[in-house]
Amino acid sequence: DTGVSQDPRHKITKRGQNVTFRCDPISEHNRLYWYRQTLGQGPEFLTYFQNEAQLEKSRLLSDRFSAERPKGSFSTLEIQRTEQGDSAMYLCASSLNTGSYNEQFFGPGTRLTVL
Amino acid sequence: AQSVTQLDSQVPVFEEAPVELRCNYSSSVSVYLFWYVQYPNQGLQLLLKYLSGSTLVKGINGFEAEFNKSQTSFHLRKPSVHISDTAEYFCAVSPSGGSYIPTFGRGTSLIVHP
């Protein structure tokens, strides 16, 4: 399977703990995106990378959130001191940027539950 | 900035009946329009997109959508639905340049009854 993969698929944690999610994009894709989807809502953009550079961050990405893509391949999203409001599905997507529109391919998501 | 309104949170329909899922958008710049489908516990899959050209766009699984610039709408239609079409459908809009980051609507749950 050469699609976007995310790990873990589910994470349950206690309030105040730190969590880290991983996303592996389609191998030749140079752009990688993170979204958050809460129950009953559409995905909301968090941040995106072109290669290893983080080019844009949403206001939703508070100081407790940090994302990295150190070698321009996989990416991690860390949430520090989790809060119950962080409970959501975290989606990763990737695309091949050629200067014009290119389709984003989504992974299956990581569902976070903060108790 | 862009915004998307999906007018129906839930649309129940019987199998083999036609269906229309409504989407309206607002934007101060030129946009691209999309419909995505999400099956339970899965990521999003692109159904179809409008970038330019013909306002009637055909996608996968027999879906089509029509871009209406004057009404700022992009409604999704299928002439005959199947049980397997039961899913969440999201309309999205992105600027037609730059980062192409989409803004999604809240989704419409299509429920197909036998």
In angstroms, the separation between the Cα of residue A81 and the nearest Cα of chain B is 26
The answer to whether the CB atoms of B101 and A33 lie below 8 A apart is: yes
Instruction: Please tell me which residue, A1 or B32, carries the higher pLDDT value.
Output: B32
Residue B99 is predicted with a pLDDT of 82
Residues with Cβ within 8 Å of residue B43, at least 6 apart in sequence: A4, A91, A93, A106, A107, A108, A109
Residue B12 Cα distances to A39, B18, B78, B84, angstroms: 20, 11, 14, 13
Residue A16 in tokens = 């105040």
Mean pLDDT across the stretch A72-89?
96
Out of B9, B101, B107, closest to residue A48 by CB: B101
Mean pLDDT across the stretch A107-114?
96
**Residue A30 confidence (pLDDT) above 70:** yes
Nearest CA in chain B to A40: B106
Q: Which residue bears the tokens 């980051």? A: B101
Give A68-80 pLDDT, tens digit per residue: 999 889 999 999 9
The answer to whether the CB atoms of A44 and B104 lie below 8 A apart is: yes
Handedness of CA B84, A93, B2, A88 (dihedral sign): positive
Map residue A3 onto helix, strand or coil: coil
Residue B80 is predicted with a pLDDT of 97
Average pLDDT, 10 consecutive residues per value, chain B (114 residues): 93 98 94 94 91 93 95 96 97 89 96 96
- Decide if B74 contacts B55 (C-beta within 8 A): no
Chain B positions touching A33 (Cβ under 8 A) are 101
